[in-house]
Copies of this chain bind each other. A is one copy, B any other.
Amino acid sequence: MNNETWLNKVNWSDDGLVPAIAQDAATGRVLMVAWMNREALKLTWQKSEAVYWSRSRKKLWHKGEESGHIQKVKEIRLDCDGDVILLQIEQQGGIACHTGRESCFYSRLEQGRWVEVDEVLKSPDEIYKR
């Protein structure tokens, strides 16, 4: 279990990162994409909860640490080039996006315009000022 060969098989970018897609294990909906470094991926595997690397805050980000919207990880996959991770998750609270929506992908292209087609389930104020 201390063997980290599997982490070496990931094609980390020059910045030491890899994008990770979080997909709802039950519905198949793609909820978000965030970044992981080596430590984040290792922790995700160990905890079976998604841990990302926040590029803006430059630190590890245990998803849900503030919002409570933890992502329980059911499966971890790697693509053929080794440069994208796909997580099958259970989204606690049913909200992955910081805007209070289920998914970050709520804007749909309609006749040359991005239209916000998904509803806000909980206001960000309510989520983050607990």
Contacts and interface: CB of A to CB of B under 8 A. Distances in A.
Given A30-B23, A112-B1, A114-B9, A104 B80 contact: yes
Contacts of A129: none
A81 interface: yes
Interface of A: 1, 3, 5-6, 9, 19, 21, 23, 27-30, 32-33, 45, 75-81, 84, 86, 97-99, 101, 104-109, 112-114
Given A21-B33, A45-B112, A80-B99, 17 more contacts: A5-B113, A6-B113, A21-B30, A23-B28, A27-B28, A28-B28, A30-B30, A76-B108, A77-B107, A78-B109, A79-B104, A79-B107, A80-B98, A80-B104, A80-B107, A84-B104, A84-B105
